[in-house]
Chain A
Amino acid sequence: DTAVSQTPKYLVTQMGNDKSIKCEQNLGHDTMYWYKQDSKKFLKIMFSYNNKELIINETVPNRFSPKSPDKAHLNLHINSLELGDSAVYFCASSQTRGRTEAFFGQGTRLTVV
Chain B
Amino acid sequence: GESVGLHLPTLSVQEGDNSIINCAYSNSASDYFIWYKQESGKGPQFIIDIRSNMDKRQGQRVTVLLNKTVKHLSLQIAATQPGDSAVYFCAENQAGTALIFGKGTTLSVSS
Residue positions of A touching B, CB distance < 8 A: 4, 33, 35, 40-45, 48, 55-56, 90, 92, 97-107
Contact = CB atoms under 8 A, between A and B. Distances in A.
Nearest to B36: A104
B43 A104 contact: yes
Contacts of B89: 43
Interface string B15-50: 000000000000000011010001001111110010
Interface in B54-101: 87, 89, 93-101
A44 B101 CA distance: 7
Given A98-B32, A99-B95, A43 B42 contact: no
B101 A97 contact: no
A90 B43 contact: yes
Given A41-B87, A43-B89, A101 B101 contact: no
A41 B98 contact: no
B46 A97 contact: no
A50 B42 CA distance: 25
Contacts of A103: 46
B102 to A, nearest CB: 9
